[in-house]
Amino acid sequence: MKLNKFKEKKNKTKYFLMSGLTILGVGGVFILGNSFGKYQVEKSFSIINGQIQANSSDVSIATINVDGQPQDKIPENGTGIYFDNAECSNGATGSWDRTNWQFILSSTKKTKCTLNFTTSKSTTGEQSGSSKMEDLLEQNQSQEKTPITSDDNNNIRYIGSDPNNYVYFNCKNGSNSGENCETWRIIGLMDGIKTSSGKNERLLKIIRKDSLGNHSWDKSDNVENNIGGVNEWSHSDLMHALKNYGGESDSECKDTSCNSWGQLSTSAQSMIEDVIWNTGTSPGTENMWQEVNSAIVQYMWERSAYTGKQCTQGETFCNDLVVRQATWEGKVGLMYPSDYGYATDGGGTKSQRNECIGTKLYNGKSLWWPVVCYNNDWLRDSNNQWTMTSAPHSSDARYVFYVNSTSNNGSLDYDKAYVSYAIRPVVYLKSSVKITGGDGSSTSPYKLSVQ
């Protein structure tokens, strides 16, 4: 047993290294890393077998586990141990900063967090989605041309024209591979995904390889927006259709897709996490093309409070009474515009990719995303594909973003909600889902199981 005990008076600022664990309290933000740091002492406390023992619940404390075993410090980076998830009290949220190898907790309350780490592989050869993606990132980080990379938001993404990100999903008859399954593809490991239970997790995000078919985003049954549809995801016909497809019977789903698409298998449904999706968008202007930006900016806009209705109520194409919202809770959605933009490798080099993800996905008439960007983006296929994100306009509440097909210019574009484009459903997998086999290639997709 390792015991380090510190006793300090309340509200003193101290600097020291606590068995490799540092707590920094600045304006409600606490940073935990294995270095010296500044922290605010609240009460006397101890670290015993990896757990900080506090005399009062008002102390910001943390428990550190590796494969369920308590540790007295955060594991060193590059030792085959990876951050898996964090569980914090008081509804607090946090994220793992891989660059600086530290946990950042944003909280205005005194909070207790459990930081869970995992080794790269278990004795059975199974891996969590998190550790698998971390393994692949570490293996490829020194390569100039890589099929996987991290972004500035702590997400790990597959990139390029055809990376090995294939996975069996929606399997029938108890199988987890072969002809009884569909092939989906992994968009990436996404950080800070809030689940319906309030936890923030790192979850695998996957998309169906093939379209379910063409479908309108939304059609109005009356005179809403001149019968052009409403660009609010929580209200849309497509949301109801995908809700039914995900296994939740939806009385609002009245079109043929509710029967023709069927529902995901029981095993697939058990793997899907119910999460909070971001349905924010860009600030509306008179010129629609100004609403399209780079993958970097689109990502930020998708998490904004802007919604698809930024026109004046009562105008011909802006007379719906649907309440707009910037988030939506559910299980099955679509890709974001930023997912498409971030999936390019720009032709191979890191500098080329950086140029692509920093370039507008559409920049006005005939000013498309560069060919080298969209020709090296695996999310683009032979269909025009709807995204989940509305496209606001100063006088119109009908537009939604879609991705142009391989026969077109490969840019992000926009159209009226009632138009029919390809539907490729997207889901987040539970953190308990394991990768149990396969190498991710098109001939040997990853196999999944759930604990």
Same domain? 109 vs 132: no
**What pLDDT is stored for residue 284 in this prediction?**
64
Same domain? 92 vs 231: no
Give percent of the chain above pLDDT 70: 74
3-state helix, strand, coil in the chain (%, to 5): 15, 35, 50
**What pLDDT is stored for residue 445 in this prediction?**
94
* Confidence band, pLDDT 50/70/90 cuts, at residue 112: confident
Q: What is the mean pLDDT of residues 84-94?
A: 74
pLDDT at 385 over 80: yes
Same domain? 159 vs 94: no
Q: What is the mean pLDDT of residues 331-341?
A: 97
Tokens 């793997």 found at:
271
**What pLDDT is stored for residue 40 in this prediction?**
34
Same domain? 144 vs 27: no
**What pLDDT is stored for residue 220 in this prediction?**
67
pLDDT at 322 over 90: no
Q: What is the mean pLDDT of residues 375-380?
A: 96
Which token pair is 213? 């078919």
**What pLDDT is stored for residue 141 in this prediction?**
66
Same domain? 188 vs 99: no
Task: Tell me the per-residue pLDDT of 14-39, one tens digit each, with 9 for 90 and over.
Answer: 332 333 344 444 344 444 544 333 33
Q: Return the SS3 of 105.
A: strand
**What pLDDT is stored for residue 44 in this prediction?**
34
**What pLDDT is stored for residue 165 in this prediction?**
95
Where in the sequence is the domain holding 132, given as residue range(s)?
125-451
Q: State the Cα–Cα distance between residues 274 and 287, nearest whole angstrom.
A: 36
Same domain? 25 vs 101: yes
For CA atoms 208, 214, 220, 223, the dihedral sign is positive
Same domain? 28 vs 156: no
Q: Of 119, 149, 182, which one is at a domain's C-terminal end?
A: 119
Same domain? 146 vs 240: yes
Q: Of 119, 154, 184, which one is at a domain's C-terminal end?
A: 119
Q: What is the mean pLDDT of residues 178-196?
A: 94
Q: Of 66, 100, 119, which one is at a domain's C-terminal end?
A: 119
Largest CA distance in the chain: 73
Q: What is the mean pLDDT of residues 236-256?
A: 83
* Confidence band, pLDDT 50/70/90 cuts, at residue 408: confident
Same domain? 220 vs 365: yes
Same domain? 92 vs 181: no
Q: Return the SS3 of 129.
A: helix
**What pLDDT is stored for residue 123 in this prediction?**
39
For CA atoms 202, 208, 212, 214, the dihedral sign is positive
* Confidence band, pLDDT 50/70/90 cuts, at residue 263: very high
* Confidence band, pLDDT 50/70/90 cuts, at residue 254: low
Backbone angles phi, psi at 298, to 5 degrees: -60, -40
Domain count along the chain: 2
Q: Tell me the residue length of the chain.
A: 451
pLDDT at 417 over 70: yes
Same domain? 344 vs 236: yes
pLDDT at 266 over 70: yes
Same domain? 199 vs 65: no
**What pLDDT is stored for residue 14 in this prediction?**
31
Q: What is the DSSP string of 266-314?
A: HHHHHHB--EEEE---PPP-SSGGGG---HHHHHHHHTSS--S--S-TT
pLDDT at 401 over 80: yes
**What pLDDT is stored for residue 144 in this prediction?**
65
